[in-house]
Structure 1
Amino acid sequence: MAEPTKTKYRVGGMDCAACASKIETAVTRIPGVSEAGASFTAGTLTVLHDNVPFTTIQQAIKPLGYALARDGAPAPLDGHDHDHEHDHDHGHEPAGPDEHFALGDGPWWRTPKALLALGAGIAMLAAWLTGLVVPTMSHEAFLLALLVGLIPVSRRAIAGARAGTPFSIETLMTIAAVGAVFIGATEEAAMVVLLFLVGELLEGVAASRARASIKSLADLVPKTAFLVTGETTTEVPAASLALNATIMVRPGDRIPADGIITTGQGAVDQAPVTGESLPASKGPGDTVFAGTINTDAVLTIRVTATASDNTIARIVQLVEEAQESKAPTARFIDRFSRWYTPGVLVAGALVATVPPVLLGQSWDEWIYKGLAILLIGCPCALVISTPAAIAAALSAGARRGLLLKGGAVLESLRTITTVALDKTGTLTEGRPLVTDIHAVARPVAKVLSLAAALETGSSHPLALAILARAKTDKVAIPPAAAARALPGKGLAGTVGGEAVALFSPAAAAEQTTIAPDLQTVIDGFTDAGKTVSIVLVGGEIAGLIAMRDEPRADAKAGIDALKAINIDVIMLTGDNVRTARAIGAELGLEVRAGLLPEDKQATVRALQAEGKIVAKVGDGINDAPALAAADIGIAMGGGTDVALETADAAILHGRVADIAAMIGLSNATMANIGQNIAVSLGLKAVFLVTTIMGITGLWPAILADTGATVLVTLNAMRLLAWRPR
């Protein structure tokens, strides 16, 4: 039996969670479809199917008022399609600007929802003017105004019922409006439908804003690049750049691809991607990201990622995938709403019939109140309360380099009690740096110069550290003759006619005597977790160079931020005990060192057995088992693909402080969701009481529901502006 095909589509006109639910229900009823998942926040539909044609899926959702396009093609905002499109056409014929608008691209006032709301508004104004001029025609005028908006709504209600969603918002609206006409409240029915259409329009605008926040990330990458081929520079589409291609970036231009600088040195403004306030100094060998801005020098760059796999593309893909997965709270509300809406219909029917039948009350009065109950009970605000907040939070996090793979991860982060951190590349820079130069028989600059002369041309991490320090200190590097590696000892050669060697302390001790006071200095460096190299000139000690993989600049502040919110922090590392303890003492955290990958995983499980909720943070292949075992695995963004794939979240820019920021985003999001649920249910409760008491009627009821939906959406959109403290 053939494996099912998984296809992703773009959907136009899907602006709320109820829309997504209707689409899922309709598509899963198609023969050959085994699973369908719609995300209104991402504007996507993912279908698992047995070669079901595109047009079959398209025709299933078109009567509901939604349009469909294959992923990567423009998604129209209305429900029209092209008659000339056939199943064998694997593209999607682009629509003209007056027919379709790519998802999120078209101005909101030209969308079908906006045009329908405008038409209903004009009809309502015309009916009111008619009533003023010809009072006897008022009822008929408002009935026509009602039909302008109600006919499209009722058609969607009927289509939804046929597609498996009988208890939709459109159903409640149709029943309430038709019932209002029968009891003589035609003017109110027309106003209710108009307010409903305006509410739908506002939902669409808000949803487009949420999608635009992610789309703007993709727009950071320029469309063209200057490709260098030999002596020729040609402007080409950025999407066509191949791996290892060489590109030239002028001052002031955005960098079109991830890559490594080969020539040129200058400042690169990384704020669009990393949020850093100051430009970073970049030179040959340094990594640059697509979408960042080259500020002041011509750079040539070797491309290290294609357009579909660069930093920006990976962010967009991770966030869209995250938005497509539902958070636990959202799943609960979805299940609740399936029972809630039929319950509202029953409640409305009871309010309309019980008082007249049992208490002899007026039928018109209580039918009116029952219809108002239907409108009050519309679940839009409640259903949208969680996914809107989750989508906004995921977008806000992504813009600041915090990638979370779904709402469940975002919800769970606030429950973390322990953070277990890898050392190398997570707490530290991941490469050694020269920390100390101790002069003995030669000045500090000379000791560094001689060591750099021997290391020139080497790619060993310690060699790169010495050469980088020589470059930073602007020390002259003389040529070395007959430089050679001595296994188990170090390097030796001739510099300026003198025999020079760069040895380990043990190897140096075989060549000369190390004085006790100098041995004390060496022991101090070693106890601090530093690697010591001794420079010998003519067999005599000229000086010492100490190197260590230093903590990240923000490591201490990041750990302190976690402790400030009562989270325990522990280091799990495969490094030697002495080095790990030295770093741990400097940063003020518990250390467990000398661990193999399975030991890290076992430690995480042991912490969980103690009842702790554990987040594991790492960047290497050896962290993957522990990342998978932890309650939440967090990959540092510069890490391996294995770590990024295994983890639940990623800190793109490697800032330790971003761990606490990620937890802060979780807390802010859950607080926002709580506010949204309180607003949506609170307003319903208030208007339920006032309707039963006869204080409010039909149009205040729908205004309350529309108002609650707009308030909830606007409150969720506040998270787009979230910033870590």
Structure 2
Amino acid sequence: MSHGHCNGSCCGTEQDMQKKEMLKIAVSFVLLAAGIFLSAADVPFFRDGRIRLVWYLAAYVPVGVPVLREAWETMRSGEIFSEFTLMSVAAAGAFLIGEYPEGVAVMVFYAVGELFQDRAVSRAKRSIGALLDVRPETAAVVREKGIETVSPAEVRIGETIEVRVGERVPLDGISESDAASFDTSALTGESVPRRIGRGEEVLAGMIATENVCRIRVARPAGESALSRILDLVRNAADRKAPAELFIRKFARIYTPAVMAAAALIVAVPWVWSLAASGFDYDFGDWLYRGLVFLVVSCPCALVVSVPLGYFGGIGAASRRGILFKGSNYLDAITKVNTVVMDKTGTLTKGVFEVQQVVPAEGLSEKQLLETVAAAEMRSNHPIARAIVRALPEMTPVFLSSSDAKEIPGLGIETTVNGKEVLAGNAKLLGHYGVDFPPETDGIPGTIVLCAVERRYAGYIVVADMPKEDARDAVAGLRKEGIRRIVMLSGDRQAIVSRLAADLGIGQAYGDLLPEGKVERIERLKADPANVVAFVGDGINDAPALALSDVGIAMGGLGSDVAVETADVIVQTDQPGRIPMAIRIGRATRRIVRQNIVLAFAVKLAVLALGAGGLATLWEAVFSDVGVSLLAVLNAVRIMRKRF
């Protein structure tokens, strides 16, 4: 029986382990049912007490031995009174008084509860291993004999490494190439590739997107940007203690209490018989009552009802594209009062679109868009592709362009229909002495300015578009009572502030590296009143996901690292599912509480009857079965509930 915790190396065999547990339970159940039938049919060979004992011991072993092993392990660790101890003593008591079927039945139902528990609780995440997978294992070093491929740890500061197109930079350094484009999303979450010129810093984790570049190493492998992110994940994961299961906490008090009560049921009448005349004390009768009490007090119904409630909640969420990695996170999300959200890929699509076309006097929007598209049509830059996509479908052909010259970090100079066209940022027009209106300063989004024959022709605003349900997600969170919603991003502050205002988010911070996001989370968590959920989708979000009380990842388009690090995964990539996840968590908590109250009520009633000699062992077992069945039906309700 799988009572321990699974690490990353064993997660792949978890289903096999569950199949083995189911097989053990099936074997014990069949033997138990067969034994009961043989007794009821009064089969001659089964009248022999030794045969009955061996038969039920065979039924007991598959489900009982693992519990005995766990009881022994917990005792060795100093925890004498646990549910394993109670189960072991109760089953042993049933066997001692000759009630073999009851002893086996107790263990079978306990095993069923543990099986549900194993399926409902979270398994160890492979976040650190996933991060290591994206860290390059080799570096191409330029040396006297040519380019040598070595481990990044073997590269010395000051040496030059070469990074080809599509490869990830293995070490931090300074660019020795005139200009190169890098995908920086792994570090900043910024979806626009960054142009880096000679002498500028290049960080490990960036990906070369256009041409081969050479980098002079500035830091050893252990101090690279990606290594720092890895350390952040490690430290944040260490600070997040796993939620302890309710039944384990409860058993610390419950188990010694009921064992003491069972002993008192036997001892107190004996003492009373010594002090009071006329009271006939039958040791065998009171021992039977004590053992009945002990069997009745087994927390089987609780062990089944609690995880079943969570199992229902996890199933309901998964049907709606929300994956909770464990029952503890269903509990945790109900307490969240602060939601921090990444921008790119979480609230926005991560795909650029033209938002505004502002032509200069004398030009139409269509003319400006066609001119800039003609200049950008041969570029693979995301901004250029967005502008070309924005052309109306009825445009028959592009305007002819020639002699395109890309100026690193500035833009493009080309000829369109025989006229010189400049398309790029403000520095490009300033470089050619073109005056343009100051209104373009501070506009959120990426601004592409255009000049024709050195005369200002207008500008185009390109920006990452918000997801369709982003606004509804923010409104839904407020409806659920979330008192603070914060946006964090590696994008420029002007872009972040504009989007936050559009969505109704009160606090927004831009220009952040992963360390900056972690700092913001830590500031929020410094106030014990804040229970923080962080929503992200990139590698750069992994430290913040691990540090938050509840980490939520956009699973459809999010990075593997974010998915592995997070506690909750929104597989549909819809931020509107976040308030739904909170509603499901709260509904699950209500059902679990109902199951606990029901289990306690029935348990206390049967305990009282057992102490008074009015309940048999079978009645105790069936009361547990009845409570478990009601708990199952109650848990199934959440699967049909609309959220």
Q: Say whether the 8 Å CA contact 1:448–1:470 is kept in structure 2.
A: yes
1:349 and 2:268 correspond: no
Deviates more, 1:537-546 or 1:669-678: 537-546
Q: CA deviation at 1:147?
A: 5.5
Partners of 1:595 and 1:580 lie apart in 2 by 9
Partners of 1:716 and 1:564 lie apart in 2 by 25
Q: Say whether the 8 Å CA contact 2:113–2:304 is kept in structure 1.
A: no
Q: Say whether the 8 Å CA contact 2:94–2:103 is kept in structure 1.
A: no
Q: Say whether the 8 Å CA contact 2:87–2:298 is kept in structure 1.
A: yes
1:416 and 2:336 correspond: yes
Pick from 400, 406, 412 the counterpart of residue 491 of structure 1. Answer: 412
Partners of 2:67 and 2:423 lie apart in 1 by 79
Q: Which amino acid aligns with 2:109?
A: G
Pick from 602, 620, 631 the counterpart of residue 683 of structure 1. Answer: 602
Q: CA deviation at 1:639?
A: 4.8
Aligned to 1:582: 498
Partners of 2:314 and 2:394 lie apart in 1 by 43
SS in 2 for 1:425: coil
Q: Say whether the 8 Å CA contact 2:116–2:307 is kept in structure 1.
A: no
1:531 and 2:459 correspond: no
Aligned to 2:389: 468
Q: Say whether the 8 Å CA contact 1:426–1:617 is kept in structure 2.
A: yes
Q: Say whether the 8 Å CA contact 1:206–1:714 is kept in structure 2.
A: no
Pick from 660, 680, 699 the counterpart of residue 618 of structure 2. Answer: 699
1:546 and 2:461 correspond: yes
Q: Which amino acid aligns with 1:427?
A: L
SS in 2 for 1:476: coil
Partners of 2:510 and 2:336 lie apart in 1 by 25
What does residue range 284-323 of structure 1 map to in structure 2 within 5 Å?
none
Q: Say whether the 8 Å CA contact 2:106–2:300 is kept in structure 1.
A: no
Pick from 371, 379, 383 the counterpart of residue 299 of structure 2. Answer: 379
Q: CA deviation at 1:482?
A: 1.0
1:442-501 CA deviation, whole Å, 9 max, x = no partner? Answer: 554443333222212312221121123238676633442112234675323233444444
1:670 and 2:589 correspond: yes
1:175-227 CA deviation, whole Å, 9 max, x = no partner? Answer: 22431x4xxxxxxx36635754763685588579869x99xxxxxxxxxxxxx
Partners of 1:438 and 1:178 lie apart in 2 by 90
Q: Say whether the 8 Å CA contact 1:437–1:448 is kept in structure 2.
A: yes
Partners of 1:158 and 1:419 lie apart in 2 by 46
What does residue range 123-138 of structure 1 map to in structure 2 within 5 Å?
123-130=35-42
Aligned to 2:378: 457
Give the RMSD, CA atoms, in angstroms: 4.5
What does residue range 84-99 of structure 1 map to in structure 2 within 5 Å?
none
Classify 1:474/1:343 alpha carbon distance in 2 versus 1 (closer, same or farther; 3 Å). farther
5+ residue gaps in structure 2? Answer: 73-83, 124-236, 274-278
Q: Which amino acid aligns with 1:172?
A: A
What does residue range 147-546 of structure 1 map to in structure 2 within 5 Å?
148-153=55-60, 165=72, 167-179=85-97, 181=98, 189=99, 192=102, 195-196=105-106, 199=109, 203=113, 328-330=243-245, 333-337=247-251, 340-355=254-269, 358-359=272-273, 360-361=279-280, 363=282, 365-390=285-310, 393=313, 397=317, 402=322, 406-438=326-358, 441=362, 443-470=364-391, 476-486=397-407, 490-504=411-425, 523=439, 529-538=444-453, 544-546=459-461
Q: CA deviation at 1:588?
A: 1.2
Partners of 1:455 and 1:159 lie apart in 2 by 68
1:89-125 CA deviation, whole Å, 9 max, x = no partner? Answer: xxxxxxxxxxxxx5556996xx353344334334433
Partners of 1:630 and 1:433 lie apart in 2 by 32
Pick from 503, 521, 524 the counterpart of residue 607 of structure 1. Answer: 524
Q: Say whether the 8 Å CA contact 1:618–1:635 is kept in structure 2.
A: yes
SS in 2 for 1:687: helix
Identity percentage of aligned residues: 29
Partners of 1:539 and 1:341 lie apart in 2 by 86
Q: Which amino acid aligns with 1:604?
A: I
TM-score (norm 1): 0.58
Q: Say whether the 8 Å CA contact 1:143–1:190 is kept in structure 2.
A: no
Aligned to 1:307: none
1:708 and 2:633 correspond: no
Partners of 1:613 and 1:207 lie apart in 2 by 26
Partners of 1:609 and 1:599 lie apart in 2 by 15
SS in 2 for 1:457: coil
Aligned to 1:113: 25
Q: CA deviation at 1:418?
A: 1.7
Q: Say whether the 8 Å CA contact 1:127–1:142 is kept in structure 2.
A: no
Q: CA deviation at 1:563?
A: 1.0
Q: CA deviation at 1:365?
A: 4.7
TM-score (norm 2): 0.65
1:600-659 CA deviation, whole Å, 9 max, x = no partner? Answer: 444434434444333333445665565555444444444556655665555454322233
1:566 and 2:481 correspond: yes
